Structure 1
Amino acid sequence: DAVAMMAVGFLYQNGSGVPKSYQKAMKWYRRATESYQKAMKWYRRATETGDAQAMGSIGFLYMNGWGVPRDYEKAMVWFRKAVGKGDALAMEYIGALYAHGWGVQQSGSKAAEWYRRAADLGQHRPPEPASSYRARDRQKVSKIMKWYREAADSGMKAFATYEVGWLYAEGLGVPRNYRRAMLWYRKAAGLGESRGFGGVGHLYMYGLGVPRDYHKALVWLRKAAALGDRAAMRDIGRLYARGWGVPRNNRQASVWLAEAGALAKAAGAGSAGDENLLPRRFHEI
């Protein structure tokens, strides 16, 4: 798929596990771009029949600059068209535009309004990602914890269950408690959340709340990596780089770290939002 093509290009560009070749890197980047361009073509055709999901998908491609120049204003236009057809996911992305100030004046209240509208239609996300609260006041973090707990009991179990564990691991809004983090991560993994598997592996890797166990760490991290979790890929890379539980292997370390970096780049991390903003349907492009 397009994300995998971007990852291969990144490996050749950096010479990670393969001989460095800018020519081959460019070839793979072009193939990825062409894949997104084909997706755009088919989405546009689908919009002619009033397909709301296709309209939202076009907006998402514009928001990330995948196959087209990044254009937040065009993204908003297409998201609003999708919203007009009742697409909850498009409402979520309008919320993201307001939350980050992408192409619009940043507005937390408008972002929350759109997230709530999406949630009312079954597209459940928090008012803001928990990670955005790292350096902010504890009162707000407590509110987000309450939101996640309520959500974990409702329709967005896997996502919210992981986030509760993450807040316990970080000690945000609650006293840091790695054992509780492990409990919530395991629950999330049981619900199929990739970051739940990765969270369990990370705690085993560093002996946080449990005895350090590199073998168990690698088992859990590989499960997460198989589901596309790039934080788990980074941790696997570190295990190989340091020789923790596995023979030290710089080549393997480079491959895993490069793949994580390539997926971050392909997903627009650091520029067009975090991995939580990637809708499931785009993994199929």
Structure 2
Amino acid sequence: MDASWFLEGALKGNDKAQYHLGICYAEGLGVEKSYKRAAGWFSKSARQGHVKATYELALCYRYGDGVSKSYTKCRRLLQSASRKGSLPALEDLAVAHLKGKLGLEPNASAAVPLLIKAADRGSKRAMTWVGLMYAEGRYGMLQDDEKAEWYLLRSAREYKEGSQVGKEIRAGARALFKLAQRFAEGRGVKQNYEKAIDWYSRASIKGYSPAFYELGMCYIKGLGHGLDQSDSAAVEWYARASEEGHAKAQFKLGLFYLKGRSMPKDEFMATEWFMEAAEQGDPDAQVK
């Protein structure tokens, strides 16, 4: 994509060309990067109703890119874009109400309907939020296992193939992990260790340390079809979780070193891991 491709159309008032020219200036594609010019072209396009340009202009006002920062203008543009079908704008508004961003006070009653609307439109992030809210009965939501499973399962399916964006990876992994927990504990679903292990494994692929720990526990207990009890496999998962700072895994790993279970006995390493876990507040490690 090059700015020269869009300049003629933009000058003639074509909203799509104006939007793409704004992107070129924002990213320095074929022109010298200029947030001011980007915002100017986004503004021209947005005035003609271009949804993506409206959202991009909202971001300009949010971060002060090429314009004076203004949360009021940002919110107004996000509302306009969301009414026209922009899912990112709807997500941003929901999170702003939920967490008290963009000059707003935290307001769960305003955020929840927006999150549900975003989830129903296909937002992976919103599916995860809504599923967790139903699962945990948070933000004024009544705890509802069936609805929690429905949203988390949808979210997990969307995330199965894996996003490359850090925040999305963690959000997706958390959804996968929560779904695994429900199958492991039989909360709202029929208890099924094989499905639990499958979803824990999917979460582990995304580097989610709680999933490492739970897989270690599964190997200790020998849960699931085809998953035999294995101390050595458990140690591997505990070690991975420990390196990521998981306190319970650090304590478990310390016990293996202390007892020489599935590894050479090493009291020094045991103490090191107990101290790591204790520093993070693990109650079992603190009494060792």
**What TM-score do the two structures reach when normalised by structure 1?**
0.48
Relative contact order (C-alpha < 8 Å, sep 6+): which is higher?
1
Q: Which structure: larger Rg?
A: 2
